[in-house]
Amino acid sequence: MSLEPRSTTSSHPAPPATVPDLVPGPEPAEPRTGTAFYTPIWLVAVFGAALYWATLYVDRHGGGFNPMVFTPGELLADVEARVPRSEADVLLAKGRQVYNTYCSACHQPNGRGTPGQFPPLAGSDWVLTEGPNRIIRIVLDGMQGPITVNGVEFNNAMLPWREQLTDEDIAAVLTFIRGNKDWGNNAGPVSPAQVKVIRDATAARGTFTPWTAAELLTIPVKD
């Protein structure tokens, strides 16, 4: 019926049935799927590898799924490093770490020590001095013999840390101990330079020569 005569059909004799597309003709069969081949196994393998790559990619660029990290490729540490802090803040954070590693076993995480064995650091009259000269020495070379802390007598030994801890570590842990507000302490920070001066000055005493309380009391708390 009134089909357009020049519609696609006439010229090409080759295929058995011409393609009827712009005119309704004998309707081609509905399409079918074949099974000429299955999904190639290499494709599945590559896909698996790509999935693995994707996890690596997210790991590298995802900022550890932290909502504070906005630039792909950075981590929270990068963001934190940019936050301006005073030097004391940095030492405080590091000091907490050092304290938990080396000190808290005896002096306890809460800094109260163990009655009769290990003197307290929280509120201690040895810690909360104007300057840190004495306690730097204690940490460097250890302590032995009787010592009176806050009016209570202790008689025990403390290990020297001269070899294990760097100036920065000692400054950090002392800053943490002296300035720990949770313990009620509020004394000034200790700088690595101060530790260094005393370390160099006391190097001549030789290793493993712990201080005694009497010896320390002769040293001014502050330069």
Partner 1 sequence: MKHGPLMFLGVLAAVLASWLVAVLAPHFQIGHEEPILIEELGINYPVDRPGEAKQGAEVYRAQGCQYCHTRQVRQEPLFADLTVTDLGTNAVETRRVVASLRRDLAGVDGRRLPEELPRPLLKHVSYAAAEAALRRLTNAGAQVELTLANLGPDIARGWGARRTVARDYLRDHPVMLGQVRFGPDLANLGARQTNEMRLYLKLYNARLELPGSTMPRYPYLFEERRLRPGQEPSPDALRGFGFEPPPGIEIVPRPEARQLVAYLLSLKADTLFYETYVPRPASAGAAAVTNGPAAAPPAPTPPPAQP
Partner 2 sequence: MSSPQSPPPTAPAAAPPAPRPVRVPVEAIDRSCRWPVLVLVVLAAGWLVVAGALAVLAAIKLHAPGMLAQHAWLTYGRVQPAAWNAFVFGFASLAGLAMALWMTARLSGAPLRGGGVIILGALVWHAGLKIGLLGILAGDATGLEGLELPPYASPLLLGGYLLMAPWALLTFARRVEAEAYVSQWHLIAALLVFPWVFAAAHLATNFLPLRGVLQAAAQAWYLQNLQVLWLGFLGLAAIFYFAPKLTGNPVPSRSLALFGFWVLTIFGSLAGQVRYAGGPFPAWMSSVAAAAGVLTLFGVYAVAVNGARLGRGAAGRFRESVVLRFIALAWLVFVGAGALAALNSLLGVRQLTQFTLVTPGLDYLWTQGVAGLALLGALYYLVPRLLGQGWPVAGLARAHFYLAATGILVLAAAFLVGGLAHGAALKDPQLGFILVVKRYLPFAATGTLAHLLWLGGALLFVLNLVLALVRCFQQAARPVWQAWWTPQPTGPQPAEVKP
Nearer to partner 2, 33 or 86 (CB): 33
147, β-bridge pairs: 154
Task: Identify the residue among 45, 66, 115, 214 touching partner 2 (CB under 8 A).
Answer: 66
Task: Identify the residue among 196, 210, 216, 221 touching partner 1 (CB under 8 A).
Answer: 196
Q: Cβ–Cβ contacts within 10 Å for residue 48, how many?
A: 10
Question: DSSP secondary structure string, 150-218?
Answer: TTEEEEEEE---TTTS-HHHHHHHHHHHHT-GGGT-------HHHHHHHHHHHGGG-SS--B-HHHHHT
The entry of partner 1, partner 2, none near residue 204 (CB within 5 to 8 angstroms by kind) is partner 1
Distance of alpha carbon 20 from alpha carbon 8, whole angstroms: 8
- Interface residues for partner 1 in 68-97 (CB under 8 A)? 68-75, 77-84, 86-87, 90
Q: Give least dist CB 79 to partner 2, A.
A: 10
Task: Identify the residue among 119, 124, 192, 213 touching partner 1 (CB under 8 A).
Answer: 192
What amino acid occupies position 107? H
Q: Which residues bind partner 2 (CB under 8 A)?
A: 1-4, 6-9, 12, 14-15, 18-19, 21-24, 27-40, 43-44, 46-47, 50-51, 53-55, 57-58, 60-74
